[in-house]
Amino acid sequence: MSGKTLGIGLAGFGTVGSGVWNILKRNSELIRERTNGVVTLEVRKIAVRDLNKSRDADAPADRFTTDVNEVIDHEEVDIVVELIGGTTTAFDIVARALKAGKPVVTGNKALLAERGQELFALSRQHQAPILFEAAVAGAIPVIKAVQESLIGNQIDSIAGIINGTSNYILQRMTEAGLGYPEALAEAKELGYAEADETLDVNGWDAAHKAILLASLSYGGLVDSGKVYVRGIEKVTPLDIRFAKELGYVIKLLCLVRRHESGIEIRTQPSFISSKHILASVNGVFNAIAVKSDAAGESLFYGRGAGQEPTGSSVVSDLVEAARLLSNGGSHRGFLPGDQEPVLVPVEETATPCYVRFKVTDRPGVIAEIASALANAGIGISGTHSPSDPDNPDAEFVDMVFVLHKTPFGLLKDTLAEIENFDSVTERPVVFRIETL
């Protein structure tokens, strides 16, 4: 069997776009063979901002344009790939392509999590698929797993490390003792971070991915405004050290969990036991643990960002899109509908917690805090107050309380009270301890 060559329009030729070009250049023949000659792909138009920029791939100059519409409207472009990022121009590109009936492949989690409602509606209306494997966890085929392989399962929970930049930064701070700015600069240099790294470090990149996973698992698009999100910007070497002394590591974790009353979804730096399998997921690697009723526990692991790992997922979607065009079939996987799932308020979710207080070093301080916690019904499973060998007579010391499982709302209210004690000199630092 032999198929026609399908034309690709590539909007964006940065880290991922040039990775896609290089993979196709190297492996096009392999793809053709593996698809029985049905899928031959050729990049016919490429949109960028700056035609004079040096690139990581050597595409011919005549394919480039600065006009994104040229990429979409070109008569020899059958599939449009959006790899520019953001939620404005990217939205226009995807919407225009779908309206023209062209399948879209994108790695843009922010776009789908924030404006997916409109785009999936256009996709349904114009019967043009949106494929987005690259949007969650780089090279790991977790979207296909949830959309297709686990389609006959009730998903109980998804827990994972799904931002390579944060994971890389936390590991470099933990193991190499690097400061936050140095570790971030390395992640940028390696092509893991977004053009604007804000979303990586403030937790939103991971939250967008969690929203997509939740939407695929529970049917409708989650309103991002209702999701609890914290990033790694305030993780200090001190908490990293205390975590280690207590037998934990700090990871930016995303959690999606089904409760009787709704869906719990949150992203935050959390303590996990240093013996847990996710504790050994380091650097740019991501891992996602899915619990479902029939399959039980499944773990997905791989590179979560970077040029070719992400390019690999884009190419896989291109082959899928080409197959759909060749066979005239519709997308095989489940896609989110427009019913918004009910979310469980974060205040109602409960975990054990680590709380660090900066206090004046005087008798009775520990008892004062312990008694406020006890009055609120919060149990203490341990305390930790390492003295600073360089400064044994320090006026202020760090005092850690490890708390039994506590509803987050109750903890917040109690800490608001303790924060006002004369002996407490700074806002308490809280990390949830996830037992997963």
Give me the residues that bind ligand NAP (CB under 6 A), please: 12-17, 47-50, 53, 68, 83-85, 89, 107-108, 134, 138, 191-192, 194-195, 305-306, 310
Question: Does residue 205 belong to the site contacting ligand HSE (CB under 6 A)?
Answer: yes
Between 106 and 423, whose beta carbon lies closer to ligand HSE? 106
Among 194, 239, 264, 317, binds ligand HSE (CB under 6 A): 194
Residue 254 CA to residue 298 CA, distance in Å, equals: 16
**Among ligand NAP, ligand HSE, none, residue 48 binds (CB under 5-8 Å by kind):** ligand NAP
**Among ligand HSE, ligand NAP, none, residue 12 binds (CB under 5-8 Å by kind):** ligand NAP
Q: Which tokens go with 418?
A: 């303790």
Residues ≥6 apart with Cβ < 8 Å to 89: 68
- Contacts of range 26-30, beta carbons closer than 8 Å, 24 or more positions apart: 27/315
Between 111 and 256, whose beta carbon lies closer to ligand NAP? 111
- Residue 323: is it exposed, middle or buried by C-beta count within 10 angstroms (0-12/13-18/19+)? middle
CB of 199: closest distance to ligand NAP in angstroms? 8
CB 228 within 8 A of CB 188: no
Q: Which tokens go with 70?
A: 């040229």
Q: Which of 176, 172, 174 is nearest to 187 (CA)?
A: 172
Residue 355 CA to residue 361 CA, distance in Å, equals: 17
Residue 402 CA to residue 58 CA, distance in Å, equals: 55
- How many Cβ atoms sit within 10 Å of the Cβ of residue 124? 15
Between 16 and 150, whose beta carbon lies closer to ligand NAP? 16
Number of residues that bind ligand HSE (CB under 6 A): 11
Question: Does residue 15 belong to the site contacting ligand HSE (CB under 6 A)?
Answer: no
- Residue 210: is it exposed, middle or buried by C-beta count within 10 angstroms (0-12/13-18/19+)? buried
CB of 38: closest distance to ligand NAP in angstroms? 27
Q: Which of 321, 268, 296, 249 is nearest to 160 (CA)?
A: 268
The CA-atom distances, in angstroms, between 190 and each of 61, 168, 298, 313, 327 are: 26, 10, 29, 18, 39
Tokens 């975590």 map to which residue?
243
| Closest-approach residue to ligand NAP (CB) | 14
- Span 300-329, contacts to ligand HSE by CB under 6 A: 304-305
**Among ligand HSE, ligand NAP, none, residue 129 binds (CB under 5-8 Å by kind):** none
Region near ligand HSE per CB under 6 A, out of 189-197, 223-231, 242-250, 363-371: 189-197
Between 309 and 336, whose beta carbon lies closer to ligand NAP? 309
Catalytic residue among 209, 251, 358, 412: 209
Question: Does residue 193 belong to the site contacting ligand HSE (CB under 6 A)?
Answer: yes
- Span 121-160, contacts to ligand HSE by CB under 6 A: 138
Between 254 and 305, whose beta carbon lies closer to ligand HSE? 305
Question: Does residue 111 belong to the site contacting ligand HSE (CB under 6 A)?
Answer: no
**Among ligand NAP, ligand HSE, none, residue 84 binds (CB under 5-8 Å by kind):** ligand NAP
Whether 209 is catalytic is: yes
- The catalytic site residues sit at 209
List of residues contacting ligand HSE (CB under 6 A): 138, 163-165, 192-194, 200, 205, 304-305
